[in-house]
Chain A
């Protein structure tokens, strides 16, 4: 078995709401393997974005973090800010959902791409700028030389996201975290950006953690999938297994919300809403919306072991 690049154990993230600590992420564990794309899927508000941010400890001080994130033998969560600065952008990089607002409007594209190289590789600005030009070629931006001197507002949305990717890849990180990188883009551009990420992953052998709510994206790029619901990791499986044999009632329901072209298919929305974090139910957090819920669900089930892991009593009975 391959050694994981990063191991997340029992990660919990709490925020203080009206003087009470509420767990937005409820003790989740998963591995990131070398050269794979791991997709974390879930509805809005299920805690996937803050999970992604916590992998680099980017959350604000108001968040209370628990558990352990091991990367290269060290626990990210107990690192000092100085040590984290050394890892961020150099060994773990992140790209964000909104390419419009994620780039600094008053700095040139060239400077923004060159910055991590200067910070981490000790390059001079002129060397870093030359390297930035190569990175623009890598993310397939034409007229790289001219683009370097431009500002973000002079680029289209798709271009900006490519620039974000170039920034992320600048120091050849081992892990690239992509938080809904295509949500803000047109469908055609989405496909291009996803294909680009996949190509780069294969070329450079890095691992990608892709946060998304879009199962279409998952089907396209994922090697493994982790499904999150209301701060819990409810199912994790290799992508083929998840689509052919979804085991958690939430995953099953989620798959029914995706339109399919190949057969007459009725779209079934999931009834109800994700509860707000200060009103999380005891026991299984999905139980109130689950069609298969029964008495046992008043106690939270554990995630089953194995590559296709499920957190559901029903599954335990079936096995």
Chain B
């Protein structure tokens, strides 16, 4: 197990390096000047020059990249061009908020999507199945920001159940309470994905010979579905959850802005607007690493769900 994890982490180094190169080049190729963005239009030429000099922006791109890599090798992601704070610190400050948001979204995705998917499969081609399939299609096609705004209008303004601005402060109860609405709005897409996957996975599994064997043993319907079928259907569902975790981090940007929550998404947008190269680079490295970790966890989950999978 430990050997497997080490091997997997080492094998991600080339991927991460690729991500680094792309991010590094893209930020610098994109129009906009950090000195101008940070010091403002009225800054004097001397001030701008001094800033560029201090940040090493006058060096060639290769030199800058070399400096970035050597920092990284020492475990540092550099300091923010704007605030002067270490990038790691500002990312770690907001990372928990994004993680709890993403986990909340997955939680809703599973507790709503999984049962609906199973129901849909059991009543295949019945009116309930058609209804749920249309709803899940809507869930997939609704842009995340629209879902969020509708939920705020409905649950916060009309019914006053949840706060409009869900700042994650206070004790654990408050924090969870504040999380519900953003997680739900981000989770809508997860509900739809999990429901559709669960439906098709259950339909596949219910047609398998071993389900017939279980019926021939006299296993009652509930046991047939929850024990014999679901265990097998979990394999594709785990894949979907793992795969769309990255998508959630991306979508979290909008959710965080609409609900005015701190998080990776908001930090990305802010750094982008300020052309804060160092923070952006750091954010990308950490996001990419996060996805690598999630993929690793997904693989470990496979081995837990399916005894045929061996971690080597």
Q: Is the CB of B209 within 8 A of A106?
A: no
Q: Is the CB of B218 within 8 A of A106?
A: no
Q: Is the CB of A86 within 8 A of B208?
A: no
Q: Is the CB of B231 within 8 A of A106?
A: yes
The answer to the question of A85 belonging to the interface, with a C-beta cut-off of 8 Å to chain B, is yes
A85 to B214, CA, bound (A): 10
Instruction: Out of A103, A106, A119, name the residue touching B306 (CB < 8 Å).
Output: A106
Known contacts A106-B307, A151-B308: does B215 contact A88 (CB below 8 Å)? Answer: yes
Known contacts A58-B212, A167-B213: does B308 contact A105 (CB below 8 Å)? Answer: yes
A90 to B220, CA, bound (A): 13
Chain A neighbourhood of B217, CB < 8 A: 88-89, 93, 115-116, 119, 167
A104 to B220, CA, bound (A): 16
The answer to the question of A98 belonging to the interface, with a C-beta cut-off of 8 Å to chain B, is yes
The answer to the question of B52 belonging to the interface, with a C-beta cut-off of 8 Å to chain A, is no
The answer to the question of B251 belonging to the interface, with a C-beta cut-off of 8 Å to chain A, is no
Shortest distance in angstroms between B229's beta carbon and chain A's nearest beta carbon? 9
A32 to B118, CA, bound (A): 40
Known contacts A104-B232, A105-B210: does B216 contact A89 (CB below 8 Å)? Answer: yes
Q: Is the CB of B212 within 8 A of A151?
A: no
Seen from chain B, the residues whose Cβ lies within 8 Å of a Cβ on chain A are 208-210, 212-221, 223, 228, 231-232, 305-308
Chain A interface residue count, CB cutoff 8 Å, equals: 31
The answer to the question of A250 belonging to the interface, with a C-beta cut-off of 8 Å to chain B, is no
Known contacts A101-B208, A102-B212, A115-B219: does B232 contact A153 (CB below 8 Å)? Answer: no
Main secondary structure of the interface of B (DSSP, over half): helix
Q: Is the CB of A105 within 8 A of B212?
A: no
The answer to the question of A94 belonging to the interface, with a C-beta cut-off of 8 Å to chain B, is yes
Chain B neighbourhood of A58, CB < 8 A: 212, 215-216
Chain B neighbourhood of A120, CB < 8 A: 218
The list of the 5 closest CB pairs from A to B, nearest first, reads A89-B218, A89-B217, A88-B218, A101-B209, A104-B210
Shortest distance in angstroms between A283's beta carbon and chain B's nearest beta carbon? 35
Q: Is the CB of A107 within 8 A of B215?
A: no
A residues 80-95 near B (Cβ < 8 Å) are: 81-82, 84-90, 93-94
Beta-carbon nearest neighbor of A90 in chain B: B218
Q: Is the CB of B307 within 8 A of A102?
A: no
Beta-carbon nearest neighbor of B221 in chain A: A81
26 example contacts (A-B, Cβ-Cβ < 8 A) are as follows A58-B212, A85-B218, A88-B216, A88-B217, A89-B217, A89-B218, A93-B216, A94-B216, A96-B213, A96-B216, A98-B209, A103-B210, A103-B213, A104-B213, A105-B308, A106-B231, A106-B305, A106-B306, A107-B231, A119-B217, A119-B218, A119-B220, A120-B218, A151-B307, A151-B308, A153-B307
Shortest distance in angstroms between B128's beta carbon and chain A's nearest beta carbon? 17
Which of B210, B218, B308 counts the most A-chain CB atoms under 10 A from its CB? B218
Instruction: Out of A85, A102, A106, name the residue touching B220 (CB < 8 Å).
Output: A85
The answer to the question of A206 belonging to the interface, with a C-beta cut-off of 8 Å to chain B, is no
- Encoded as 1 (CB less than 8 Å from any B CB) or 0, chain A from 3 to 38 comes to 000000000000000000000000000000000000
A120 to B218, CA, bound (A): 8
A82 to B210, CA, bound (A): 20
